[in-house]
Amino acid sequence: MSVTVKIPTQLRAATGGQAEIEVEGATVGEVLDAVFDAHGDLRERITQDGDLRRFVNVYVSGEDIRFQQGLDTGIDDGAEVTILPAVAGG
Amino acid sequence: MSIESLKCKECGSVYELDASYVCENCFGPLEVAYDYSSLDPAEVKRQIQAGSQGIWRYADFLPFKGRPGDPLEPGLTPLLRADRLAERLGTEAEIWIKNDAANPTHSFKDRVVAVAVAKAHELGFETVACASTGNLANAVAAHAAAAGLDSYVFVPANLEEQKLLATGVYGTKLVGVRGNYDDVNRLCTQLAESRPWAFVNVNLRPYYAEGSKTLAYETVEQLGWELPDRVVSPIASGSLFTKLGRGFQEWLDLGLVEGGQPVFNGAQAEGCSPVATAFAEGWDVCKPQKPETIAKSLAIGDPADGPYAVEHARRTGGGIDSVTDAEIREGIKLLAETTGIFTETAGGVTVGVLRKLAERGELGKGERVVVYITGEGLKTLDATRDTFQMHEIDPDLDSFEAEFRREAAVR
């Protein structure tokens, strides 16, 4: 399944400036692994011991994955995965 | 005066003092770091006391090199002893109400926005913006107008009418987003990537959040340079709660006040209680919720500083409780009837939690408790609708007598 992953400004140093990455994957976990395969630096920046760090939000087509099945959330073909900092607002 | 850098609260990475808010190494939140080593406590105290009648009297502890001016300076709001409230609660604790509705746009948000708008000006921005549950919208629109900056204010479209009207009047670009606050926040986080705007609670959030410390400083000053034993504060994002703690700590570290951190009690609405839930469950993260509460100003389902609020409540031996919508309405009425202060739903949440603490016997005899009332009742009038009856009479004495004889008979 082809998926577009949107990379926030703060992580683009680790993707060579790319704001969007196209990868394959059937779940959020698989998609992120594919992103980390392409850009190794990213793994440590947003995950710790296999889980997302606590200030990282991931959305599938606009919906927070914590309201779905977390890293096991399924992805439809052509879906968009957005990574954003969880430190705004209030 | 002594502002040094931005520093990641998670991993300690250090950044320049620009419009950024996220650590590139671990995605943690950035916070302003200061160096107070050259400050002389006695001199600082003298300068504060000779300072302006608002938050800029604390300029040494705010994120500026110089002393910012501000036509709408907030702060120095009343701190009132509330003996009748204590009596109604059946507690022998000493209850004080910090009425922060007495700010230019009637909420504590004037403090954070005054700091953020001054910083936006210093950094050369021409447009300010925010994601808001209402009070922040009022404040950003007003302070931008006063400073002559353009503004964009993003709110959930279903906000209380009073808060929409009290925002639009300032000539801001008011954007009602069809979604909840967390949707608005996500949209603004994305917009902040591409627009050259100062989003006060996104890319300027490290500076903005510092404004809340002034509530702690004022409390200490107004108590005669003493700390309260306990504070009760509402929690939405958790920023106010944690910055109150930071404010007290800075003055303790500097020796401006003696003692230790007060016990911190946080207040949430049951219909949006991710931080209270994390506290109760012993989690170090907050599981997001879809808000369903009349306390819209606290309706943040994914609170950015939630984990830090939980940590601070634990560290000080406090807690975080939640109350139902019915308890919120009762809290509003209780405060109004015993202090003459009419608060919005967030204040109803806070008073509701104060009442729970009293009922559980957690407030000790003579303990000095400061309760933070963060907003004005006129902004959430629906919450008081149908909670009392008006006597409607004809304009003559007989009609009045008949009405109140009947009432006396009923009694």
Q: What CA–CA distance (Å, rounded) separates B181 from B200?
A: 15
Mean pLDDT of the B370-383 span: 97
Verify whether the Cβ–Cβ distance A62 to B290 is below 8 Å. no
The Cα of A55 is separated from the nearest Cα of chain B by a number of Å equal to: 6
Could you tell me the residue range of the domain that residue A21 belongs to?
A: 2-85
DSSP conformational letter for B375: B
The pLDDT, as a whole number, for residue B138 is 98
3-state helix, strand, coil in chain A (%, to 5): 35, 30, 35
Q: What CA–CA distance (Å, rounded) separates B6 from B21?
A: 8
B79-106+212-384 placed in CATH 3.40.50.1100: yes
Give the whole-number percent of chain A exceeding pLDDT 70: 100
The pLDDT, as a whole number, for residue B66 is 80
Mean pLDDT of the B161-180 span: 97
Verify whether the Cβ–Cβ distance A10 to B189 is below 8 Å. no
Contacts A54 to B, Cβ<8 Å: 284-285, 307
> Is B226 a residue whose pLDDT tops 70?
yes
Q: Measured between CB atoms, does A69 come within 8 Å of chain B?
A: no
CATH of the domain at A22: 3.10.20.30
Task: State the first-to-last Cα distance of chain A, in angstroms, to the nearest integer.
Answer: 36
Domain membership flag for residue A36: yes
Mean pLDDT of the B340-345 span: 98
A56 → chain B, closest CA residue: B27
B307: left (phi over 0), alpha (psi -120 to 50) or beta: alpha
Domain membership flag for residue A70: yes
> Is B408 a residue whose pLDDT tops 90?
no
- How crowded is the C-beta side of B389, counted as CA atoms within 13 Å? 5
**Chain segment A12-44, per-residue pLDDT in tens:** 999 999 999 999 999 999 999 999 999 999 999
Q: What CA–CA distance (Å, rounded) separates B132 from B304?
A: 14
Closest in B28, B188, B287 to A88, CB measured? B188
- Tell me, yes or no, if the pTM score tops 0.80: yes
- Show me where the domains of chain B are located: 1-38, 79-106+212-384, 109-210
**Chain segment B87-102, per-residue pLDDT in tens:** 999 999 999 999 999 9
Tokens 């850098």: give the residue: B5
Q: Are B236 and B112 in contact (CB under 8 A)?
A: no
- The model's confidence at residue B411, banded by pLDDT at 50, 70 and 90, is low
- The model's confidence at residue B68, banded by pLDDT at 50, 70 and 90, is confident
The pLDDT, as a whole number, for residue B227 is 98
Q: What CA–CA distance (Å, rounded) separates A37 from A18?
A: 15
Closest in A46, A62, A88 to B189, CB measured? A88
Tokens 């950044």: give the residue: B15
Q: What CA–CA distance (Å, rounded) separates B408 from B37?
A: 68
Average model confidence (pLDDT) for chain B?
Answer: 96
Strand B3-8, strand A63-64: pairing: unpaired
CA B149, B7, B241, A90 torsion-angle sign: positive
Q: Are B139 and B73 in contact (CB under 8 A)?
A: no
Question: How many structural domains compose chain A?
Answer: 1
Token digits of residue B252 = 């303790």
Q: Measured between CB atoms, does A53 come within 8 Å of chain B?
A: yes
Asked, colleague to colleague, whether B79-106+212-384 and B109-210 share their fold, the answer is yes
> Is B1 a residue whose pLDDT tops 70?
no
A vs B, Cβ pairs < 8 A, gives: 97
- The model's confidence at residue B410, banded by pLDDT at 50, 70 and 90, is low
> Is B13 a residue whose pLDDT tops 70?
yes
The Cα of A11 is separated from the nearest Cα of chain B by a number of Å equal to: 6
The Cα of A31 is separated from the nearest Cα of chain B by a number of Å equal to: 19
Residue B393: Cβ within 10 Å count: 14
- The model's confidence at residue B269, banded by pLDDT at 50, 70 and 90, is very high
Cβ-based interface (< 8 Å): residues of B facing A: 10, 20-30, 131, 181-183, 185-186, 188-190, 192-193, 199, 201-202, 205, 236-239, 284-285, 287-288, 290, 300, 302-305, 307
Q: What CA–CA distance (Å, rounded) separates B107 from B104?
A: 8
> Is B166 a residue whose pLDDT tops 60?
yes
Give how far Cα B50 sits from Cα of B45, B125, B133, B221, B258, Å. 9, 31, 36, 13, 22
The Cα of B140 is separated from the nearest Cα of chain A by a number of Å equal to: 13
Q: Measured between CB atoms, does A71 come within 8 Å of chain B?
A: no
Contacts A10 to B, Cβ<8 Å: 20, 22-24, 27
Q: Measured between CB atoms, does A12 come within 8 Å of chain B?
A: no
**Chain segment B112-124, per-residue pLDDT in tens:** 999 999 999 999 9
Q: What CA–CA distance (Å, rounded) separates B318 from B260?
A: 13
Q: Are A4 and A80 in contact (CB under 8 A)?
A: yes
Q: What b/e string do you get for B325-354 counting C-beta neighbours within 10 Å, with b at 16 or more?
A: bebbbbbbbbbbebbebbbbbbbbbbbbbb
B296 → chain A, closest CA residue: A90
Domain membership flag for residue A63: yes
> Is B406 a residue whose pLDDT tops 70?
no
**Chain segment B289-333, per-residue pLDDT in tens:** 999 999 999 999 999 999 999 999 999 999 999 999 999 999 999
Q: What CA–CA distance (Å, rounded) separates B167 from B180?
A: 18
Q: What b/e string do you get for B218-227 counting C-beta neighbours within 10 Å, with b at 16 or more?
A: bbbbbeeeeb
The Cα of B318 is separated from the nearest Cα of chain A by a number of Å equal to: 22
Domain membership flag for residue A90: no
**Chain segment A43-70, per-residue pLDDT in tens:** 999 999 989 999 999 999 889 999 999 9
Q: What CA–CA distance (Å, rounded) separates A51 from A47?
A: 5
CATH fold label, B109-210: Rossmann fold (3.40.50)
Q: Which ranges in B68-108 belong to alpha helices (H)?
A: 83-89
The pLDDT, as a whole number, for residue B192 is 96
